[in-house]
Structure 1
Amino acid sequence: MTTSRGPVPGAGPDPMGGGAGLADPAEQLARLGRSWTWILGMAIATLVPGILALVWPDVTLHVLAVLVGLYLLAMGGFRFVAVFGREEQGERLPGLLLAVLFVVGGVLCLRNPLQTIAALSLIVGGVWLVSGIVTLYTAIATKDLPHRGVVMAVAVLGIAAGIVVLALPTESARALTRLLGLWLVLLGLAETAVALAWRSALRRAGVTGHEGSGTVA
């Protein structure tokens, strides 16, 4: 789930320091993290494992754990880069914590001793629940957020996904696969809507290219 603060009207890509030398890595990551295509990449990283889970429901618990673990690791990487797109240093902490949470969750899913239905549900449900709460807080606190309602809806969807996965007992790998696949597809579609909303906001502000002056959480 992603949130982006509204772009500054008339703001475009920052100059590359007059072309002298290499660009600062932090600035390069900030440009990438502010791009609507980066948000779309996060959505695709969510959709793909969800679709695989739905069309391949008979996977073993081991395969499901690997699939979910790779998804969480990928999302951790996407979120880490998105942190640099935030304007204020103090605003980066929540996004950084979420990135770490996704990476830790991915590592735990990939560990053999933890590949049980209960453990996998606990890890994924916990990550979604915390991520949804943080995203909802960010959406409420950021008053100039473009398409604020869409972001809040995505956050609520993430919270609901976490609660359902944590509360709904699943007795088989097949049932868990279908449950996680359904929520991954729903979240992926919602994140796609956020990416398109961010692109629309950039175009209305007259920002050229795929990036703007804003923040991504």
Structure 2
Amino acid sequence: MGEISRSWWLLLIRGLAAIVFGILALIWPGITLLVLVIFFGVYALISGLFELFAGFRHGERPRAWLIISGIIGILAGIVAFLWPGITSLALLYLVAFWAIFTGVSEIVAGVHLRKVIDNEWMFIVGGILSVIFGVLLLVWPGAGMLSLVWLIGVFAILYGIAMIALSFRVKNFTQGAGTP
């Protein structure tokens, strides 16, 4: 528990960052969606180029897999720039599955944290919100990509509030336990 309690401020920063991101997404939904697609495209292109380079440069690794992975990354980056609509739909599904898997892991972590801290429920609430968010994205993908950005914004704010509440709970536990 000492490690968790000493890093309470990391949960606080994580919560504050989520709230700021959520507010910006709500203020500029169109820009947020375009930026997400562009960031993904740039990342996929750069990652693909480096994997391709590594595939041709390093003979001791399984070169074929690096080369194939690099080509797929480069193609994904090009698709993101040429067809941002398809890319944003793919990102919708990626975000949905990420939210579900992250939420489930946070629920499990919250249950384990409850064994250490009495009445600890904020981490579990964050996980439940994450799972609900992911499921809603899967159920209604046709609601529009801008709706995704609004959902991301609201989710980020609610999630940030849950993480901030958790950080203060962990900090108070630290002070109450007399740990530095």
Q: With the length of structure 2 as denominator, give the TM-score of the two structures.
A: 0.65
Which residue of structure 1 aligns with residue 171 of structure 2?
199
**Equivalenced residues, count:** 141
Greater CA radius of gyration, 1 or 2?
Answer: 2
Which residue of structure 1 aligns with residue 100 of structure 2?
129
Q: Give 1 or 2: higher helix fraction.
A: 2
Query: Is 2:126 the counterpart of 1:154?
Result: yes
Q: Moved runs in structure 1, 4+ residues, more than 3 A?
A: 64-69, 170-173
SS of 1:192's partner is: helix
CA RMSD, aligned part only? 2.9
Which residue of structure 2 aligns with residue 14 of structure 1?
none
Q: Distance in 2 between matches of 1:60 and 1:199?
A: 33
Give deviations 1:159-184, integer Å, cap 9, x for gaps. 11221122222453322221211111
SS of 1:58's partner is: helix
Which residue of structure 1 aligns with residue 70 of structure 2?
none
Pairing 1:47-86 to 2, within 5 Å after superposition: 47-59=19-31, 61-65=33-37
Could you tell me which runs of 5 or more consecutive residues in structure 2 were left unpaired when the two chains were aligned.
Answer: 42-72
Greater relative contact order, per chain length (Cα 8 Å cut-off, separation 6+): 1
Amino acid at match of 1:178: W
Identity of aligned residues (%): 26
Pairing 1:171-182 to 2, within 5 Å after superposition: 171-182=143-154
Q: With the length of structure 1 as denominator, give the TM-score of the two structures.
A: 0.55
Cα 1:154–1:63 change in 2 (3 A) is: same
User: Is 2:92–2:137's contact at 8 Å kept on the other side of the alignment?
Assistant: yes
Cα 1:155–1:60 change in 2 (3 A) is: closer
Could you tell me which runs of 5 or more consecutive residues in structure 1 were left unpaired when the two chains were aligned.
Answer: 8-29, 70-106, 209-217
Q: Distance in 2 between matches of 1:154 and 1:121?
A: 20
